[in-house]
């Protein structure tokens, strides 16, 4: 007995020590990160007013420019359509040859998976920069960039679906003596095709967002208009453009979500409707193709250019810039960390307020709160970053703020969903033993939601690392700023060294994040 208490006491001390050390580590980490991003509350308060002043100058929006904006708006949609279409086509071979279900030899599927992972590490805007460099200004570069961006995500998500497909029907088809191709045809594809279509539609949503702002670096669409309006300080037009992008994103999300829901629920459309749907999609693709006037000669030249770029990176990298690139990459990580943390702190309360169960909020209020993340999510980071740069001047702080605000969209939404998913048995157990509301929260609610919150935080950090690596392209600090400088001097070897730093960093972070999240969720 005495021995037991002794050990217990020892353990308690060890725990306290661990807690204390962890706390010290966190303080040091955030101290370091906050300094790195030049975070300074007083200047936020001092200049924060300017942000609203800026918004004030934008109001009222200038709708007289609307007719000129229709074409860029359509172009944005067309670029997203073609990008998704080509991306899906390019993803197919990657999925097939990267799957253990189809390919037996690890010699084939490992390299294919490697390519998939590398494609995934490159952030959307960086693709845009590379394609504009290779193919010149205009929508063709946008289509190229979006195709690669889409391909990477579709391939990744579909491969994950393929890994998680139900093996039982596969066994049944094997058991009747079917060959490999027949197994694929009758047990794999019926399960995989709906997932594939779901991912394609999801990526189309993403592509519309990216497509809307990508023009800022010269890749066609609405973003180009935004650049011009910003340069001319035509603020009322800036607001018009931002509102148009916002409306486009919301409409596309609504439509796409409807369709995806139908797919997930396995609703079978009657033949004529299915035919109608297919023809609408086909028309959209053909129309995009014709009106964007994609020049295939330039496409071919672009690939030549790409080859040269890769060749230059391999044979003659700008090694003298390696250290600088690493420093800026570290700043990007700091931006992502601080931005995600601020966003997290704001969206945890939002999650509880927007949850419909267990918190006791009136339903109407919760539903209202739930719209906040949806609205925020429709404002692309890039536009927020541009606004914050106009307020605080270029530097890492606008990047932090853009990420902090934009991420509330996803974090708030998912946090609310986590809270809604809480199992109510432990809550009732505590309530029935006479615990106070705070005690119920501490011992029944918090233990359930905390691991999921943290996992979500880490996942968002992973996404934000990509964002923080490119926001610098518009002036918001981090390694993107180096890319921006190099790009304006056409110093492609420096862009190359940035790629050399970004790709492995993002890969390592993806890997660690997946590991930690798995640990957190599975306990």
Partner 1 sequence: MTAPILRVHNLTVIYPGVQPVKALDNVNVEIYPGEFVVVAGVSGSGKSTLLRAINRLAENDHAQIHGEIYFDGVNVLKASRRQLREIRSRIGFIFQEYNVVERLPVLTNALVGSLGYVGLVRSLLGRFPKEQIERAHHALVRVGIPQPRHGDRAARLSGGQKQRVGIARALLQKPKLILADEPVASLDPITANVVMNIFKKINEDEGITTIVNLHDPVLTFKYGKRIIGLKHGRIIYDKPITAINRETFEEDIYGTVDREG
Kindly give the interhelix angle for 492-522 and 446-470, rounded to the nearest 10 degrees: 170
Give the separation between CA 462 and CA 454, rounded to whole angstroms: 12
Q: What angle do CA 355, 357, 360 make, to 5 degrees?
A: 95
- Shortest Å distance, C-beta 155 to partner 1: 22
Per CB under 8 A, contacts with partner 1 among 223-252 are none
Structure token digits, residue 463: 């996404």
CB of 90 to partner 1, least distance (A): 24
User: How many other C-beta atoms can be found within 10 angstroms of the C-beta atom of residue 238?
Assistant: 25
Measured distance CA(417)–CA(394) in Å, rounded: 36
Confirm or reject binding of residue 266 to partner 1 (CB under 8 A): yes
Q: Tell me: does residue 261 bind partner 1 (CB under 8 A).
A: no
179 binding partner 1? (CB under 8 A)? yes
Read out DSSP for 95-154? HHHT-TTT---HHHHHHHHHHHHHHHHS-HHHHHHHHHHHH-SSHHHHHHHHHHHHHHHH
The one among 1, 107, 268, 364 contacting partner 1 by CB under 8 A: 268
Task: Tell me: does residue 421 bind partner 1 (CB under 8 A).
Answer: no
What does R_g of the chain's alpha carbons equal in angstroms? 25
Site for partner 1 contains 264 (CB under 8 A):
no
Q: Does 191 bind partner 1 (CB under 8 A)?
A: yes
Nearest one of 325, 401, 328 to 39, comparing CA atoms: 401
Contact pick of 173, 201, 326, 516 for partner 1 (by CB under 8 A): 173
Q: Is the separation of the CB atoms in 351 and 416 below 8 Å?
A: yes
According to the binding rule CB under 8 A, does residue 274 interact with partner 1? no
- Choice from 2, 41, 107, 175 touching partner 1 (CB under 8 A): 175
Q: Is 187 in the site for partner 1 (CB under 8 A)?
A: yes
Q: Residue 92, interface with partner 1 (CB under 8 A)?
A: no
User: In whole angstroms, how close is the CB of 273 to partner 1 at the nearest point?
Assistant: 16
Torsion sign across C-alpha atoms 438, 442, 448, 452: positive
Tell me which stretch binds partner 1 (CB under 8 A): 105-113, 172-180, 367-375, 423-431.
172-180
The nearest distance, CB 159 to partner 1, in angstroms, is: 19
For 1-20, give the DSSP string.
-HHHHHHHHHHHHHHHHHHH
Shortest distance (Å) from residue 193 CB to partner 1: 8
Instruction: List the Cα angle 501/502/504 in 5-degree steps.
Output: 75
Nearer to partner 1, 192 or 483 (CB): 192
3-class SS of residue 94 = helix
Distance of CA 244 to the CA centre of its chain: 21
Q: Contact 81/204 with Cβ under 8 angstroms? A: yes
Does 176 interact with partner 1 (rule: CB under 8 A)?
A: yes
- Token couple for 455: 């996992």
Out of 168, 296, 488, 523, point to the residue binding partner 1 (CB under 8 A): 168
Strands (E), 369-518: none
Alpha carbon 401 to its chain centroid, in Å, reads 16
Exactly one of 47, 51, 97, 186 binds partner 1 (CB under 8 A); which one?
Answer: 186
**Choices 90-98, 181-189, 319-327, 401-409; region in contact with partner 1 by CB under 8 A:** 181-189
CB of 111 to partner 1, least distance (A): 25
Residue 271 in the binding site for partner 1 (CB under 8 A) = no
Distance, in Å, from the CA atom of 242 to the CA atom of 239, rounded to the nearest integer, reads 5
Place of tokens 């390299």: 111
Residue 273 vs 514, nearer CB to partner 1? 273
Which window, 173-181, 230-238, 354-362, 368-376, contacts partner 1 (CB under 8 A)? 173-181
**Closer residue to partner 1 in complex, CB, 41/175:** 175
- What is d(CA 94, CA 87) in angstroms, rounded to the nearest whole number? 11
Out of 38, 40, 174, 420, the residue judged to bind partner 1 by CB under 8 A: 174
Q: What is the DSSP string of 272-287?
A: HHHHHHHHHHHHHHHH
Exactly one of 177, 270, 272, 362 binds partner 1 (CB under 8 A); that residue is 177
* Total of chain residues touching partner 1, rule CB under 8 A: 22
Q: How many residues does the chain have?
A: 523
**Shortest approach of partner 1 to residue 179 CB, angstroms?**
6
Contacting range for partner 1; rule: CB under 8 A; set: 54-62, 74-82, 189-197, 414-422: 189-197
Least distance from partner 1 to the Cβ atom of residue 188, Å = 9
| Interacting residues toward partner 1 by CB under 8 A | 167-169, 171-179, 181-182, 185-187, 190-191, 194, 266, 268
């Amino acid at each position: 007995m005495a021995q037991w208490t002794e050990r217990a006491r020892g353990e308690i001390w060890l725990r306290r020590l661990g807690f204390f050390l962890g706390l010290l580590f966190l303080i040091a980490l955030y101290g370091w990160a906050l300094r790195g991003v030049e975070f300074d509350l007083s200047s936020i308060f001092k200049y924060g007013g300017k942000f609203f002043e800026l918004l004030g100058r934008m109001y009222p929006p200038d709708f007289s420019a609307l007719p000129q904006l229709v074409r860029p708006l359509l172009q944005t949609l067309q670029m997203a359509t073609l990008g998704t279409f080509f991306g899906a086509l390019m993803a197919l071979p990657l999925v097939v040859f990267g799957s253990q279900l189809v390919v037996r030899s690890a010699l084939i599927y490992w390299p294919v998976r490697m390519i998939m992972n590398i494609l995934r590490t490159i952030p959307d805007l960086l693709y845009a920069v590379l394609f504009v460099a290779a193919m010149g200004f205009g929508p063709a570069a946008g289509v190229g960039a979006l195709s690669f961006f889409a391909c990477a995500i579709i391939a990744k998500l579909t491969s994950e679906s393929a890994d998680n497909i139900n093996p039982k029907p596969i066994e049944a088809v094997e058991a009747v003596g079917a060959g490999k191709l027949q197994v694929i045809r009758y047990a794999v594809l019926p399960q995989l095709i709906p997932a594939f279509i779901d991912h394609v539609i999801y990526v189309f949503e993403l592509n519309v967002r990216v497509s809307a702002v990508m023009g800022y670096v010269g890749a066609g669409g609405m973003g180009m208009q935004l650049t011009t309006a910003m340069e001319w300080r035509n603020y009322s037009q800036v607001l018009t453009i931002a509102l148009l992008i916002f409306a486009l994103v919301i409409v596309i999300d609504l439509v796409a979500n409807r369709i995806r829901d139908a797919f997930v629920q396995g609703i079978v459309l009657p033949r004529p409707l299915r035919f109608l749907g297919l023809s609408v999609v086909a028309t959209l693709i053909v129309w995009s193709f014709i009106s964007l006037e994609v020049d295939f000669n330039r496409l071919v030249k672009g690939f030549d250019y790409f080859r040269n770029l890769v060749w230059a990176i391999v044979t003659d990298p700008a090694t003298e810039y390696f250290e600088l690139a690493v420093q800026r990459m570290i700043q990007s990580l700091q931006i992502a960390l601080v931005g995600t943390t601020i966003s997290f702190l704001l969206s945890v309360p939002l999650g509880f307020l927007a949850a419909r169960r267990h918190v006791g909020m009136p339903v109407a209020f919760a539903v209202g709160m739930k719209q906040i993340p949806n609205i925020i999510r429709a404002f692309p980071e890039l536009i927020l970053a541009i606004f914050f740069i106009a307020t605080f001047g270029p530097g890492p702080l606008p990047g932090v703020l853009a990420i902090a605000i934009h991420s509330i969209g996803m974090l708030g939404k998912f946090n609310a969903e986590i809270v809604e998913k809480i199992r109510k048995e432990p809550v009732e157990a505590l309530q029935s033993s006479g615990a106070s509301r705070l005690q119920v929260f501490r011992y029944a609610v918090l233990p359930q939601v905390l691991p999921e919150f943290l996992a979500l935080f880490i996942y968002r950090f992973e996404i934000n690392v990509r964002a923080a690596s490119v926001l610098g392209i518009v002036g918001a600090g981090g390694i993107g700023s180096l890319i921006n400088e190099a790009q304006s001097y056409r110093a492609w070897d420096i862009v190359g060294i940035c790629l050399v730093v970004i790709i492995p960093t993002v890969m390592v972070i993806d890997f660690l994040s997946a590991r930690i999240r798995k640990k957190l969720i599975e306990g």
